[in-house]
Amino acid sequence: MSDFETVAATENQAARRGPSGEPGTPNQVGAANKPRSLAGDAWRDLRRNPIFWISLALVVIFTLMALFPGVFTANNPNDCLLSRQHAGPSGGAIFGYDFQGCDTYSRAVYGTRASLLVGALAALGTGIIALVIGMLAGYFGRWVDAVLSRVIDVVLGIPLLLAAIVLLKRVSSDSQWARIGAVVFVLALLGWTTAARVVRSSVITAKEQDYVAAARMLGAGNSRIMWRHILPNSLAPAIVVLTIALGSFIAAEATLSFLGIGLKAPTISWGQDIDTGRIHMREAATPLIVPSAFLALTVLAFIMLGDAIRDAFDPKLR
């Protein structure tokens, strides 16, 4: 990835923060007699950044939409009548009806759940793989690092969309959960490399710290040092990378559904709705534009949120 070096540079700084500082928490911002920590500095930057607030608001709104879609629309997304196919906006459906005569807006609202679920689960899976691999490679070094780094190189060299096509063609089940599981599995399997590199570099920095030497002197074993001392101090940069990855996973899921190999009906997914809307765009444009806007806003919200936090923690940009 292009901005990987920037990420790596961030980690080194972030890893030195000491055990207590969560990213983005106000650390003695007001206290003039104490030197400001990096996290405090970053928080001051973030508070004045409109992009941070806008994307955070969007993330909150879409999360609420995924949890309680009924609050945002009164209509049932599966209440479809062919007689009102491509009917224009009305009091009942503010963005009109689509090709099947379903409420366009209601379908877009209910589509949030599948997208966010796939994105979040894939990010979680990616995070677990990346933490394990990055931690092992960074902590043990030597041949473990050499082998794992080559594995990362090879996986990084696999084109995601092509590999996902081959893998997902193998899934014949049409059950809702099997397809969601398959998409999550494929995305996590192919998407963990960048995060693993970030974890590896921050673990390498963290393990040279004095508190690690102190813990070892007190008789702590490898697993305790890794779990209690290094993990909390190398988690923050990985979370930032995973926020951005969550956005791109949502985009990838929509792309796969668009191609017809990702999520399938009865799951409501933006990718499928965009595909249907695209085919009938000459008759009615809103069934294309509404899910497109929802998808673009969600992906943008996560990517911009991660980007804003990362920029705030990057001392090079000061």
Q: CB under 8 A: which stretch of 36-44, 76-84, 193-201, 252-260 binds other proteins?
A: 252-260
If the CB atoms of residues 39 and 290 are measured against other proteins, the closer one turns out to be 290
If the CB atoms of residues 71 and 297 are measured against other proteins, the closer one turns out to be 297
CA distance 122 to 53: 25
The correct pick among 303, 309, 310, 312 for binding other proteins (CB under 8 A) is 303
CA distance 199 to 11: 8
CA distance 182 to 196: 22
3-state secondary structure of 25: coil
Q: Are 14 and 206 in contact (CB under 8 A)?
A: no
Q: How many CA atoms lie within 13 A of 186 on its CB side?
A: 27
The nearest distance, CB 201 to other proteins, in angstroms, is: 16
Interface with other proteins (CB under 8 A), residue total: 42
Instruction: Spell out, one character per residue from 25 to 64, where the chain touches other proteins: x when CB under 8 A holds, - when not.
Output: --------------------------x-------------
The nearest distance, CB 245 to other proteins, in angstroms, is: 13
Instruction: Spell out, one character per residue from 165 to 194, where the chain touches other proteins: x when CB under 8 A holds, - when not.
Output: xxx-xx------------------------
The per-residue b/e assignment along 40-64, b for 16 or more CB within 10 angstroms, e otherwise, is bbbbebbeebeebeebbebbeebee
If the CB atoms of residues 214 and 279 are measured against other proteins, the closer one turns out to be 279
Cα 120 → chain centroid = 6
Burial (CB < 10 A; 0-12, 13-18, 19+), residue 310, is buried
| Residue 221 in the binding site for other proteins (CB under 8 A) | no
Q: CB under 8 A: which stretch of 10-18, 75-83, 229-237, 286-294 binds other proteins?
A: 286-294
Handedness of CA 174, 279, 59, 268 (dihedral sign): negative
Cα 313 → chain centroid = 19
The correct pick among 60, 146, 161, 213 for binding other proteins (CB under 8 A) is 161
Where along the sequence are the contacts to other proteins (CB under 8 A)? 2-3, 6, 51, 154, 157-159, 161-163, 165-167, 169-170, 247, 251, 254-255, 258-261, 271, 274-275, 277-278, 281-282, 285, 288-289, 292, 295-296, 299-300, 303-304, 307
